[in-house]
């Protein structure tokens, strides 16, 4: 049921992504165990929390980027009405990126790291990643150029991908001044998740909505302009919400506070937009699971990023919550809601297309969705309670860090339990995706 043979390249990207996702979650559980229990010194010496955290977050970024890339390779032929420029290049790129990723992870075990959170990958490997990204952009760009079927959705996607790659460059140098270091660290992290990634996912999401709802392209694309315009308007200057306490000038308290407080607006618009398209659909709902993931993603995106982000974005509040478990709570809900669910939505849609299934088995997908969504939400709440306790006891009352953490232990045990359920949900989902088949006629 695919129109272009080269779309098949999405499959290996997604399978690798799913595998890395499972590994990421296992590492998350290990981090929670580090929090909840006292580990022996001998173990801490050889596999410390720091290394496990680098695993957890790098796996996260890697599987999500592979998901976006696979999604792009699937979408571009349909949008531009042409086979991909080169399937071979897409394979080379996949092998290069996964090889680099695995090398980086093994390197972390031996202390080979750049030592900056989320950007631990050593500089020499960064260059391989840049090469991988260039191959990808070249492949996508050439397909679009040769096809000459420009659409707004393609343009948004390409703009997002190019920006994503350019921003990564700011994470590579060794900065002398720690404040400047963090200033540009956020050009990668914030401008990714609240800028470039929003563009990429907005485009993928718009394309998917057009496919499954059959709503007119003109309507979808008009609102896409408004959404990404507002995303970028609030998100670019909103970077300032990370510059309150780093040794940057005071005006960031105003600029960061005001612009980032507006960041939930475009997300809300996107939710409203999605629900409206679903209501005005011209196509029948044939795979409810895909719709469930799509609507769930829009709402969860708003809760995790919009609501949870807003809660601690004003400087008066951030003064107490900055760098506490409140941040972890938001990080998880936002990443899961906005980007994990988006990838999974695309995976479900694309897997069914690739396998030529019109009506696939629904029950496991529904279980996977609810088990992961609910357990992640409860996990976010547990991190959140721990974070509020920390903000109050450590920052407001001035108890020491370790004394405060003694009083937070209960919540890390709860995180661990939620995490186990989350892993269960992920396993259900991966099994379901890999064995997706036609529902037996009843």
Partner 1 sequence: MTDKTAKLIFWGGTLSSLILFLILTVDTHRQVGALTHADKLSAQVLDGKRAFQKYNCNDCHTILGFGGYYSPDLTRVYSRRGPDYIRNVLQHPEVAFANSFRKMPQQHISETEIGNLVAFFEWVNNIETNDWPPQDSKKYRAANRLSSAAGVSRGAALFQENRCFDCHKLEGVGGDTGPALDQAGQRHDEETIKRIISQPQSVNPQATMPSHEDMSASDVSAIAEFLAKQKGEGR
In sequence order, the 6+-apart residues with CB closer than 8 A to the CB of 369 are: 289, 292, 293, 296, 425, 429
Of 86, 103, 113, 362, the one binding partner 1 (CB under 8 A) is 113
Distance of CA 319 to CAs 27, 183, 242, 324, 407, Å? 30, 18, 11, 10, 21
Residues 8, 10, 16, 18, CA torsion sign:
negative
Which region among 134-142, 171-179, 260-268, 401-409 touches ligand HEM (by CB under 6 A)? 260-268
Of 402, 440, 441, 442, the one binding ligand HEC (CB under 6 A) is 402
Q: Residue 165 CB, nearest distance to ligand HEM (Å)?
A: 18
Distance CA 193, CA 4 (A): 31
Residues numbered 20 to 39 that lie near ligand HEM (CB under 6 A) are: 25, 28-29, 31-32, 35
Of 225, 280, 363, 438, the one binding partner 1 (CB under 8 A) is 225
Of 174, 316, 440, 442, the one binding partner 1 (CB under 8 A) is 174
Dihedral of CA atoms 281, 284, 287, 293 in degrees, nearest 10, equals: 10
Residue showing the smallest CB distance to ligand HEC in the complex: 48
Residues numbered 84 to 143 that lie near ligand HEM (CB under 6 A) are: 117
248 binds partner 1 (CB under 8 A): yes
Structure tokens given for 111? 């202390």
- DSSP conformation class of 4: -
Distance CA 44, CA 60 (A): 23
Of 73, 291, 336, 377, the one binding ligand HEM (CB under 6 A) is 336
Burial 198-226 (b: 16+ CB within 10 A, else e): bbbbbbbbbbbbbebbebeeeebbebbee
Q: Residue 386 CB, nearest distance to partner 1 (Å)?
A: 10
Distance CA 1, CA 223 (A): 29
Structure tokens given for 438? 């036609």
Residue 54 or 429 having the CB closest to ligand HEC: 54
Backbone angles phi, psi at 438, to 5 degrees: -60, 135
| Residue 47: strand, helix, or coil | coil
Residues 208, 209, 212, 218, CA torsion sign:
negative
Q: Residue 348 CB, nearest distance to Fe ion (Å)?
A: 29
Q: Residue 227 CB, nearest distance to ligand HEM (Å)?
A: 13
Which region among 77-85, 268-276, 333-341, 433-441 touches ligand HEM (by CB under 6 A)? 333-341
Residue 99 or 115 having the CB closest to partner 1: 115
Binding mask 142-181 for ligand HEM (x = CB under 6 A): ----------------------------------------
Q: Residue 401 CB, nearest distance to ligand HEC (Å)?
A: 7
Contact predicate 338/196, CB 8 Å: no
Binding residue count for ligand HEM, defined by CB under 6 A:
42
- CA 177 vs. chain centroid, Å, equals 29
Of 53, 190, 301, 332, the one binding Fe ion (CB under 5 A) is 190
184 binds ligand HEM (CB under 6 A): no
Binding site for ligand HEC (CB under 6 A): 44, 48-50, 402
Binding site for Fe ion (CB under 5 A): 190, 194
């Amino acid at each position: 049921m695919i129109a272009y043979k080269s779309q098949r390249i999405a499959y290996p990207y997604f399978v690798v992504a799913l595998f890395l996702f499972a590994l990421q979650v296992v590492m998350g559980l290990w981090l929670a165990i580090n929090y909840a229990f006292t580990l022996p010194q001998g173990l801490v010496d050889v596999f410390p929390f720091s290394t496990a955290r680098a695993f957890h977050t790098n796996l996260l970024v890697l599987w999500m980027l592979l998901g976006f890339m696979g999604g792009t390779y699937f979408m571009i032929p349909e949008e531009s009405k042409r086979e991909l420029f080169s399937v071979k290049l897409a394979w080379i790129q996949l092998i290069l990126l996964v090889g680099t990723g695995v090398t980086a992870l093994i390197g972390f075990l031996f202390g080979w790291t750049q030592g900056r959170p989320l950007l631990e990958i050593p500089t020499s490997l960064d260059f391989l990643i840049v090469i991988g990204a260039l191959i990808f952009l070249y492949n996508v760009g050439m397909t679009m150029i040769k096809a000459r079927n420009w659409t707004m959705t393609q343009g948004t996607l390409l703009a997002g991908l190019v920006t994503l790659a350019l921003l990564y460059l700011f994470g590579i140098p060794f900065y002398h001044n720690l404040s400047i270091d963090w200033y540009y660290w956020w050009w990668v992290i914030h401008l990714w998740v609240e800028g470039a990634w929003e563009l990429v996912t907005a485009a993928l999401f718009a394309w998917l909505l057009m496919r499954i709802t059959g709503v007119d392209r003109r309507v979808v694309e008009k609102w896409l302009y408004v959404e990404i315009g507002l995303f970028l308007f609030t998100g670019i200057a909103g970077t300032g919400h990370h510059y309150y306490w780093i040794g940057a000038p005071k005006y960031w308290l105003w600029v960061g506070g005001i612009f980032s407080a507006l960041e939930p607006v475009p997300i809300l618009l996107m939710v409203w937009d999605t629900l409206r398209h679903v209501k005005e659909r011209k196509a029948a709902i044939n795979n409810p699971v895909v719709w469930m993931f799509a609507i769930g993603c829009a709402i969860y995106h708003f809760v995790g990023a919009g609501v949870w982000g807003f809660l601690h974005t004003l400087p008066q509040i951030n003064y107490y919550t900055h760098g506490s478990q409140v941040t972890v709570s938001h990080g998880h809900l936002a990443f899961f809601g906005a980007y994990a669910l988006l990838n999974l939505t695309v995976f479900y849609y694309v897997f069914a297309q690739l396998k030529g299934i019109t009506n696939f088995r629904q029950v496991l997908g529904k279980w996977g969705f609810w088990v992961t969504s609910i357990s992640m939400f409860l996990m976010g709440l547990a991190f959140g309670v721990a974070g509020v306790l920390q903000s109050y006891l450590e920052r407001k009352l001035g108890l020491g860090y370790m004394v405060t953490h003694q009083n937070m232990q209960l919540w890390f045990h709860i995180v661990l339990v939620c995490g186990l359920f989350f892993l269960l949900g992920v396993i259900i989902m991966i099994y379901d995706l890999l064995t997706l088949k036609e529902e037996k006629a009843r």
